[in-house]
Chains A and B, each alone.
Chain A
Amino acid sequence: MGGYIVKRLVSAVPVLLGITIIVFLIMSLIPGDPATAILGSYATPENVEKLNRDLGLDKPMVQRYFIWLGNMLTGDFGRSFSLNRPVLDEVSERFNATLVLAGTAFVLCSLLGILAGVISAARQYGLADKAITFVVLIGISVPSFFLGMMMILLFAVNLRWLPVSGMYAIYGGGDLPDLINHLIMPALALAAVATGVIARLSRSAMLEVLRQDFIRTARAKGVPERRVIMGHALRAAMVSIIPILGIQAGFVLSGAVYIEIVFQWPGVGRMLVDAILKRDLLLVQGGVVFVAACYVLFNISVDVAQSLLDPRIKT
Chain B
Amino acid sequence: MSTFFKLLFRNRLAAMGAVVLSVILILVLITPLLPLQNPDITATADRFQKPFADGHLLGTDHLGRDLLSRLLHGTRLSLAVGISAALIAATIGSAIGIIAGYFGGRTDNIIMRGVDMLMAFPYILLALAIVAALGPGLMNALIAVAAVNVPFFARNIRGITVGLAGREFIDAARLAGMGHTRIILTELLPNVLPVIIIAMSTTIGWMILETAGLSFLGLGSQPPQADLGSMLGEARSAMISHPHTSVVPGIMIFLIVMSINLLGDGIRDALDPRLRSGALSRPRATTLVERTGDVPEATDDLLAIQDLETQFHVNKRIYRAVGGVSLSVKPGECLGVIGESGSGKSVTALSVMGLVASPPGVITAGAVRFRGEDLIDAPYESLRQKRGDRVAYIFQDPLSTLHPLYRVGQQLAEAIQSHHKISKAEARERAIQLLEDVRIPNAESRVDNFPHEMSGGMRQRVGIAMALANEPNVIIADEPTTALDVTVQAQILSLLDDLRRDRGLAIVFITHDFGVVAQLCDRVAVVYAGRVVEEGPTGAVLDAPAHPYTKRLIACVPELGGGRRMLSAIPGLPPVVDDLPPGCAFAPRCDKAQEKCRHIDISLAGTGDRSVRCLYPEELV
Contacts and interface: CB of A to CB of B under 8 A. Distances in A.
Q: Does chain A bind chain B?
A: yes
Interface of A: 14-15, 18-19, 21-23, 26-31, 121-122, 124, 137-138, 140-143, 145-146, 149-150, 152-153, 157, 204, 206-208, 210-225, 228, 232, 235-236, 239, 249-251, 253-255, 257-258, 261-262, 269, 272-273, 275-277, 281, 284-285, 288, 291-292, 295-296, 299, 309-312
B280 interface: yes
A212 B400 contact: yes
B403 A288 contact: no
B216 A258 contact: yes
A257 B128 contact: yes
Contacts of B414: 218, 221, 223
Interface string B223-249: 000000000100010011001001100
Given A137-B262, A207-B282, A221-B415, A153 B357 contact: no
Q: Could you say which of B124, B258, B353 has the most chain A C-beta atoms within 10 Å of its C-beta?
A: B124
A22 B134 CA distance: 15
A127 B385 CA distance: 29
A250 B125 CA distance: 10
21 contacts: A18-B113, A18-B114, A19-B121, A27-B132, A28-B133, A29-B130, A31-B134, A141-B254, A146-B246, A149-B232, A213-B395, A220-B392, A220-B395, A221-B393, A253-B124, A269-B124, A276-B136, A284-B128, A288-B125, A288-B129, A311-B452
A230 to B, nearest CB: 13
A272 B132 CA distance: 9
Interface in B3-42: none
B443 interface: no
B217 interface: yes
A30 B279 CA distance: 52
Interface in B387-414: 387-389, 392-393, 395, 397, 400-406, 414
Given A121-B282, A157-B240, A288-B125, A276 B219 contact: yes
Contact of A140 (B261, B357, B395, B463): B261
B596 to A, nearest CB: 42
Nearest to B281: A124
Contacts of A216: 283, 350, 355, 357, 395, 401
A111 B210 CA distance: 25
Given A23-B129, A124-B281, A295 B357 contact: no
Nearest to A121: B282
Contacts of B466: 217, 221
Interface string B39-53: 000000000000000
B282 A19 contact: no
Contacts of B131: 276
B217 A261 contact: yes
Contact of B218 (A204, A210, A262, A277): A277
Contacts of A207: 280-282
B398 to A, nearest CB: 10
B213 A145 contact: yes
B281 A26 contact: no
Interface majority SS (helix, strand, loop, mixed), chain A: helix
Given A121-B282, A207-B281, A312 B452 contact: yes
A213 B393 CA distance: 12
B380 interface: yes
B419 interface: yes
A281 B132 contact: yes
Contacts of B397: 213
B434 interface: no
A22 B116 CA distance: 12
Q: Could you say which of B117, B122, B213, B232 has the most chain A C-beta atoms within 10 Å of its C-beta?
A: B122
A285 B281 CA distance: 48
B122 A137 contact: no
B430 interface: no
A22 B250 contact: no
Contact of B404 (A18, A236, A261, A269): A236
Interface string B461-474: 00100100100000
A284 B452 contact: no
A204 B280 contact: yes
Contacts of B279: 211
Contacts of B239: 149, 152-153
B616 interface: no
A311 B406 CA distance: 9
Contacts of A211: 279-280, 282-283, 357
A18 B403 contact: no
Given A143-B253, A221-B466, A291 B388 contact: no
B386 interface: yes
Interface residues of B, number: 80
B212 interface: yes
A212 to B, nearest CB: 7
Given A141-B205, A210-B283, A217 B395 contact: yes
A214 B402 CA distance: 5
A267 B380 CA distance: 54
Contact of B418 (A28, A215, A221, A312): A221
A239 B405 contact: yes
B384 interface: yes
Contacts of A223: 388, 414-415, 418
Given A150-B250, A254-B123, A292-B120, A225 B285 contact: yes
A222 B133 contact: no
A219 B355 contact: yes
Interface in B125-147: 125-126, 128-136
Contacts of B254: 141-143, 146
Contacts of B243: 153
6 nearest A-B residue pairs (beta carbon):
A221-B388, A254-B124, A18-B117, A141-B258, A146-B250, A222-B388
A254 B469 contact: no
A138 to B, nearest CB: 7
A206 B122 CA distance: 27
Contact of B128 (A232, A276, A309, A311): A276
Contact of B393 (A141, A220, A258): A220
Contacts of A251: 122-123
A96 to B, nearest CB: 17
Nearest to B453: A311
A219 B129 contact: no
A144 to B, nearest CB: 8
B450 interface: yes
Given A18-B117, A146-B246, A236-B405, 4 more contacts: A141-B205, A216-B355, A216-B401, A251-B123
Contact of A27 (B126, B129, B387): B129
Contacts of B218: 273, 277
B257 interface: yes
Interface string B104-123: 00000000011011101111
A275 B384 CA distance: 64
B145 to A, nearest CB: 12
A142 to B, nearest CB: 5
Contacts of A299: 120
Nearest to A14: B113
Nearest to B419: A222
Contacts of A22: 117-118, 121, 126
A284 B282 CA distance: 48
B117 A19 contact: yes
Interface in B277-315: 279-283, 285
Contacts of B419: 222
B209 interface: yes
A145 B113 CA distance: 33
B384 A222 contact: yes
A209 to B, nearest CB: 10
Contacts of A149: 232, 236, 239, 246, 250
Interface in B175-230: 205, 209, 212-213, 216-219
Nearest to A164: B240
B258 A138 contact: yes
Given A150-B250, A214-B403, A219-B387, A295 B120 contact: yes
